Amino acid sequence: MENATRTDIKSLTLEELEEELASRGEKPFRARQVYQWMHVKLARGFEDMHNLPKKLREEWGTCFSYTALSAVQVQESRLDGTKKFLFELGDGNLVESVWMKYRHGNSVCISSQVGCRMGCTFCASALGGLIRNLQPSEMLDQIYAITLLTGERVSNVVVMGTGEPLDNYENLMKFIRMLTDDRGLHISQRSVTVSTCGLVPQIRRLAGEGLQITLALSLHAATDEKRKKLMPVARRYSIQELSGACRYYFENTGRRITLEYSLVGGVNDSEEDAELLSALAGPLGCHVNLIPMNPVREYSFQGPDRTRIRAFQNRLEKNKINGTIRREMGRDIDGACGQLRRRSMSDFGGNKTC
Ligand code: SAH
């Protein structure tokens, strides 16, 4: 974060840091040294960087801001070991991140904004609207803090927590480039997934970034009419425009898009819905991720029952659409997006951040 006097040092790429330090008369090796402290050794502040002259550390403390998250709450699932972290940012706002252990490695789900302005009618993160964007440093910090707290390497990152990542486009791009930089944590681009509610111009722009990440599109309905009931963004972009952007993304990147489809009991879970979804997903070669709706206290939507989920999946299968039911990780620990932050805000006696 850039304020009047201090530059957010952890949001600078190595090249930017080199330039910044050169303008302060530092030798080029310093930038690499500090970058490594921040992004490989995951230092929590300048005071950790013990091979740097003390005078320099003190000077930097006055001209740079150094973000680091503190965990205010950690919930661990007794069912599957999933951990949900509530972090406090430098300005007192709260964000949540989730750590999931899979056989193929550890996955972290991060937030990209404090709150969200997309207004999906079933999502806890939409309650209270958008507070602010997260800086690249604050997105990286969620992964760094979890690595330090668990003592385990993170191999997959999904940007599927609170916020609409493509509504914070520039910061997201910088975050991805720094996260996958071989001079930082060096997570493979193929192990990064970005989930969007479907901002068409940004999907087209993303297609030209030369990244190998996976894009997941929250579709949730196969007709404009139904989609508009669940997602206000559907009033801006039609499914036809979205399909066009998906095709463009695939043609430019060679990466298949995943369609996310949250099953809402009695709303979008009929076999006819499955037929319409198949007709969309088939030509695009998309994989479909079925998410049973996770009920949020403030809304009346219900999750569908098991038999309807199975019937939906069977219908996709019959149409040769690859559809998996997402394992519900951490169901016993406020699993749905934004629920932990919501609950914590009301526990603090009301709206701490809204
Ligand atoms: N803004 C992005 C990413 C954040 S939400 C997006 O819209 O994709 C991550 C996923 O969880 C989205 O597919 C979202 O629609 C879904 N989701 C949010 N609340 C949910 C709930 N209560 N139950 C099931 N899925 C939910």
Q: Taking residues 49-73, report their average pLDDT.
A: 95
What is the predicted pLDDT for the residue at 243? Answer: 97
Contact predicate 321/256, CB 8 Å: no
CA gap 326, 107 in Å, rounded: 14
Q: Which of 168, 200, 260, 302 is the pocket-test mutation for ligand 1 (most atoms within 8 Å of CB)?
A: 260
Indicate the SS3 state at residue 322.
coil
Strand partners, 97: 85
Probe residue for ligand 1, chosen from 199, 262, 264 as the CB with the greatest number of ligand atoms within 8 Å: 262
The pLDDT of residue 232 is above 90: yes
Q: State how far the Cα of 278 lies from the Cα of 239, in Å rounded to an integer.
A: 14
Q: Which of 262, 291, 344, 345 is nearest to 84 (CA)?
A: 344
Please say if 337 is a catalytic residue: yes
Tell me how far the alpha carbon of residue 185 is from its chain's centroid: 17
Q: Smallest Cα–Cα separation from 108: which of 145, 69, 59, 64?
A: 145
Q: What is the pLDDT of residue 347?
A: 45
Which residues have CB under 6 Å of ligand 1? 118, 120, 122-123, 160, 164, 195-197, 218, 260, 262, 291, 293-294, 296, 336-337
Catalytic residue among 96, 138, 164, 260: 96
Which pLDDT does position 316 carry in this prediction? 96
Q: Report residue 321 as tokens.
A: 């659409």
**Region 192-220 average pLDDT:** 98
C-alpha of residue 337 to centroid of ligand 1, in Å = 7
Residue 167 CA: nearest ligand 1 atom is 1
With the most atoms of ligand 1 within 8 angstroms of its CB, the residue from 95, 120, 340 to mutate is: 120
Q: What is the pLDDT of residue 80?
A: 84
DSSP at 166: G
Query: For the segment 167-202, what is each residue's pLDDT rounded down to a tens digit?
Result: 999 999 999 999 999 999 999 999 999 999 999 999
Report how far ligand 1's centroid is from the alpha carbon of 293 (Å).
9
CA distance 63 to 122: 43
CA 112 – CA 165 distance, rounded (Å): 5
The mean pLDDT of the chain is 91
Provide mean pLDDT across the span 134-154: 97
Report helix, strand or coil for 263. Answer: strand
Question: Does the pLDDT value for residue 70 go beyond 80?
Answer: yes
Q: What spacing in Å lies between the alpha carbon of 123 and ligand 1's midpoint?
A: 6
The pLDDT assigned to 346 comes to 53
Smallest CA separation from ligand 1 atom 24, residue: 293
Query: One-letter amino acid identity for 209?
Result: E
Going by pLDDT thresholds of 50, 70 and 90, the confidence category of residue 145 is very high
**pLDDT > 60? residue 288:** yes
3-state secondary structure of 325: strand
197 catalytic, yes or no?
no
Q: Per-residue pLDDT averaged across 244-263, rounded?
A: 96
The pLDDT of residue 353: 27
Distance 336 CA to ligand 1 centre (A): 8
CA distances from 142 to 32, 52, 145, 162, 236 (A): 22, 25, 5, 12, 31
> What pLDDT, in 10s, does the model give residues 74-121?
999 888 889 999 999 999 999 999 999 988 899 999 999 999 999 999
pLDDT of residue 294: 84
Q: In this predicted structure, what is the pLDDT of residue 21?
A: 96
Cα(164) to centroid(ligand 1), Å: 10
At residue 123, the 3 state secondary structure works out as: coil
Encode 23-90 in three state secondary structure.
HCCCCHHHHHHHHHHHHCCCCCCHHHCCCCCHHHHHHHHHHEECCCCEEEEEEECCCCCCEEEEEECC
Atom of ligand 1 nearest to the CA of 295: 22
What is the per-residue pLDDT across 301-345, written as a single tens digit (0 to 9) for each? 887 788 999 999 999 999 999 999 876 666 677 655 566 666 666
pLDDT band, residue 350 (cuts 50/70/90) = very low
- Split at pLDDT 50, 70, 90, the class of 351 is very low
CA gap 32, 267 in Å, rounded:
54
pLDDT value at 5 more than 90:
no
- Enumerate residues 6+ apart whose C-beta is below 8 A from 19: none
Residue 122 CA, closest ligand 1 atom number: 22
Close Cβ partners of 342 (under 8 Å, ≥ 6 residues apart): 124, 127, 128, 298
Give the residue, by CA position, lying nearest to ligand 1 atom 14.
218
Choose the catalytic residue: 58, 164, 337, 354: 337
- Residue with the smallest CA separation from ligand 1 atom 21 is 294
179 half-sphere exposure, CB direction, 13 A CA radius: 32
**pLDDT of 354:** 22
> Taking the model in full, what pTM does it have?
0.93
